[in-house]
Amino acid sequence: MADSLGYSIFLKPDDVVRAFEARGTLQPTVRWSEMMHENHAVAFTVAKITKLDLLRSVQISIDDILRNGGTFEDWKGAILPEMKKAGWWGAVANADLTGTPDTIIVNDRRLRTIYNTNVAMSMASGHWARIQRQKDVYPYLRYLPSTSEHKRPLHKTWYGILLPVDHPFWQTHFPPNGWGCKCHFEQVSERKMKRMGWTITPDSELPQNSRTFTDATGRQFAVPDGIDPGFSYNPGTAHLRAVAAKAVASLRAATDAGMDASADRTLREIIADAAFDQFLGAPHGAFPVAILDPAQQEAMQARSRVIIMPDGVYRKQRGDMQDISAGHPELTTADYRLLPDIVSRALVIAQQGDNKLIFFADEAGNIWKAVVRQDAGDELPVLVSFHRSRPRNIAAETRNLTILMDRRQ
């Protein structure tokens, strides 16, 4: 019997595979709670498997299912001989293999948990990438009932919740929300919402209660009621952080090796991807946005040529920190996608102090100002300000600064 993946039927396999591929690091664990939340987006683990060769075999076998299709029985048939050969089947009392002196039971139920969890979380991450690509046309998500015969009572109270794609609720309650949870969602257009007579769920009607969970490392997490520990995060957002971190690492390696053309091409692909839309919709972590040339790096004493925009800067930009700055909420995603060109094709570059560069550029019919700073405690130079400007402002704002480049003549 085929596995129940009904609402994933139109999901692009590439999105799922990319989410799974991001988890390239093998991480042996004894208890599932040793890896929580976004850690699962950057490393692959199976609790009670500490042998890397067996862990790699499990990873490869799941990757094959995600790429080429198949059921739990297909996966089990492929991986079970290797598990038995390694001694990871039945009653296992091998601390070198399991990481614990206790005897553990490895049976069909444990295999199904491994399979379902990895496939479901990769599917959820793939769905989130698609959701972000389509949110201009389908700006809302609606929580749909579980397909399980026995539905969780608290999850049933969430059925029908309708909220914008980037509402914080989806950062903790995007399904699946527990072991074996089969709740799902639909992406809804404004037209369908009105036709069906649906309304956006008020924040006052959203679930509020949570409890504290302590993981195997002693760290504490607030886990919303009704969600199993380890599931109270959005795997798509976590995947984005993994993508952003790997992107930064790749760009740094390319620029360090002098592969500037490759670095520039990669950066533009990243900025054009739906992952960038996702970051701007629910900022968390940092995203690469531009690349300094070697002279600029030397001038501002930057530790890398890769410029990042941290979530805190973007939240200030969009006006979330009114006590600090009114920000620039008028800027669109298309405006932020101009940043690679604003830095690489600037009209004027001025230096302020030892660690700050100011870029003025003429792009897409506007004059833009971008400020990049390298702080002593930061590993990478940071975009700290970005907004539209005017031609007459350039002279006034650079009058007492060192001009590194001026292409206006």
pLDDT tens for 56-79 read 777 677 777 766 777 778 878 887
* pLDDT band for position 5 (cuts 50, 70, 90): very low
| Confidence at residue 233, expressed as pLDDT on a 0 to 100 scale | 57
Q: Which of 329, 278, 287 is nearest to 311 (CA)?
A: 287
| Confidence at residue 217, expressed as pLDDT on a 0 to 100 scale | 62
| Confidence at residue 112, expressed as pLDDT on a 0 to 100 scale | 78
pLDDT tens for 84-134 read 887 777 787 777 666 667 777 778 887 777 776 666 666 666 677 778 778
**How many other C-beta atoms are found inside a 10 Å radius of the C-beta of residue 139?**
17
Measure CA 123 to chain center. Answer: 14
* pLDDT band for position 242 (cuts 50, 70, 90): low
If you average pLDDT over residues 227-248, what whole number do you get?
65
Angle between helices 235-256 and 13-21 (to 10 degrees): 70
For residue 275, what are its two tokens? 């992952």
Output the CA–CA distances (angstroms, integers) from residue 115 to 3, 123, 175, in the order listed.
Answer: 11, 12, 16
Measure CA 189 to chain center. Answer: 24
Helix (H, G, I), strand (E, B) or coil at 29: strand
* pLDDT band for position 29 (cuts 50, 70, 90): very low
Q: Which of 112, 118, 169, 176 is nearest to 140 (CA)?
A: 169
Q: What percent of the chain is predicted at pLDDT more than 90?
A: 36
pLDDT tens for 160-195 read 999 999 898 988 888 877 777 788 889 999 999 999
If you average pLDDT over residues 268-282, what whole number do you get?
78
Identify each DSSP E strand in 234-333 by its residue range: 286-291, 306-310
| Confidence at residue 99, expressed as pLDDT on a 0 to 100 scale | 67
| Confidence at residue 8, expressed as pLDDT on a 0 to 100 scale | 33
pLDDT tens for 353-405 read 999 999 999 999 999 999 999 998 899 999 999 999 999 999 999 999 999 99
Q: Is the pTM of this model over 0.75?
A: no
Output the CA–CA distances (angstroms, integers) from residue 175 to 162, 166, 171, 226, 228, in the order listed.
Answer: 14, 15, 10, 12, 11
* pLDDT band for position 41 (cuts 50, 70, 90): very low
Backbone angles phi, psi at 186, to 5 degrees: -135, 145
